[in-house]
Amino acid sequence: MVCTVYICSICLKQIGVVPSAGFLNVEVFERPCPEPNIQPWDIPYVHYPKPKTYSREECSCNPVRYFAILSMQRSGSGWFETLLNNHTNISSNGEIFSVKDRRANVSTIFETLDKVYNLDWLSSASKNECTSAVGLKWMLNQGLMKNHEEIVEYFKTRGVSAIFLFRRNLLRRMISVLANSYDRDAKPLNGTHKSHVHSPKEAEILARYKPLINTSLLIPDLKQVQEMTSKALAYFNTTRHIFLYYEDVVKNRTKLDDVQEFLKVPKLDLKSRQVKIHHGPLSQHVQNWEEVQKTLKGTGFENFLLEDYRR
């Protein structure tokens, strides 16, 4: 009897020490991305953004480079940007700072840039989680020159590369500016203003307008554009950048290979649906061509009178 009682007591103690069932608390750590195989000087320009609006998922370790196309209106930047966006790994989000509220002050500019470079800016140019280069088009007169010191510091701190795109022939640019201004008011394409067109017929209609150039202001205006271009290059000289002329890109498509190399993306044959509006000699596109010739002859701008490229 004593033995039986002893055995029962031992069994009850064993049953009493069995712990209740529970969950194992496992802490999951995010795996760091492997170090990219790049030169040390290139490290500041390689980023791994974490969007707030979606997850990059399997592309979270795909490095992204930040860029900005710095240009002036009617300098071929729209056409150039469509070429970049034709690349499967590049997203250039357009002329974002054409909206004044976004460039109201340095804070709003930085907030907008942060959203773009964090891949949270959604536009028709947005690609997918595996974008390798993201940027925007920024005109010099859209807060860029006014706040250049702060923006240069932002570019250097955040590792943003600048792509300068300007027009060599400033007279052609002036004609394009005047024609675009007329189209904005007259809207000859079925009551719609179009800065860029995608059919030869639309281009032919827009090219019918021939602006009358104010020759008394012609040289001062050309000088002003030249000075602004020179200042922009001086201001952003300390950033990582590449400089392009629109005419060179038109004549030599290997320039696009240089841009793709600059952005460190695979080289592809880039195409655009945009159609050029003004073809041929400038004499066909100006009302007072003889007066323009007389004004520029013998000046540093005389070479603008010549046809400097074909497309």
Mean pLDDT value across residues 229-254: 96
More confident residue, 14 or 130: 130
Please name the residues in contact with 300: beta carbons below 8 A apart, sequence gap of 6 or more.
none
Helix axes 215-235, 170-186, angle to 10 degrees: 110
Q: Is the pLDDT of residue 208 over 50?
A: yes
Mean pLDDT taken over the chain: 89
65 close to 45: Cβ distance less than 8 angstroms = yes
The distance of Cα 309 from the centroid of its chain, to the nearest Å, equals: 25
Residue 222 clears pLDDT 70, i.e. is over it: yes
Distance from C-alpha of 196 to C-alpha of 264, rounded to nearest angstrom: 29
pLDDT above 60: residue 202:
yes
- At residue 278's C-alpha, the angle toward residues 88 and 176, to 5°, is 85
Distance (Å, whole) CA 37 – CA 22: 45
Q: Which of 5-9, 46-50, 269-273 has the lowest mean pLDDT?
A: 5-9
Does residue 76 sit in helix, strand or coil? coil
Closest-CA residue to 207 (of 274, 279, 272, 287):
279
Q: Residue 242 phi/psi, 5° resolution?
A: -135, 145
Nearest-angstrom CA–CA distance, 163 and 135: 10
Q: What is the pTM of this model?
A: 0.87
pLDDT band at 190 (very low <50, low <70, confident <90, very high): confident
Q: Which fold has domain 44-305?
A: Rossmann fold (3.40.50)
Phi, psi of 64, rounded to the nearest 5 degrees: -125, 140
**Does 56 have pLDDT greater than 90?**
no
Nearest to 213 by CA among 123, 142, 98, 305: 305
Q: Is residue 252 helix, strand or coil?
A: coil
The two counts, helices (H) then strands (E), for the chain are: 10, 5
